[in-house]
Amino acid sequence: MSSPEIASVSWGQMKVKGCSSTYKDCKVWPGGSRAWDWSETGTQHSPGVQPADLAEVLKVGVDTLVIGRGMREALQVPSSTLDFVRQKGVEVQVLQTEKAVAKYNNLVGQGAKVGGVFHSTC
The pLDDT tens digits for 8-44 are 999 999 999 999 999 999 999 999 999 999 999 999 9
Q: What is the pLDDT of residue 101?
A: 98
Residue 96 included in any domain: yes
Question: Pairing state of beta strands 114-119 and 64-68?
Answer: parallel
> Per-residue pLDDT tens for 74-120?
999 999 999 999 999 999 999 999 999 999 999 999 999 999 999 99
Residue 106 included in any domain: yes
Q: What is the pLDDT of residue 1?
A: 85
3-class DSSP assignment, residue 55 = helix
Please count the other Cβ atoms lying within 10 Å of the Cβ belonging to residue 32.
Answer: 17
Q: What is the CATH number of the domain that holds 28?
A: 3.40.1230.10
Residue 1 included in any domain: no
> Per the structure, how many domains does the chain have?
1
Residue 19: domain span: 6-119
Residue 93 included in any domain: yes
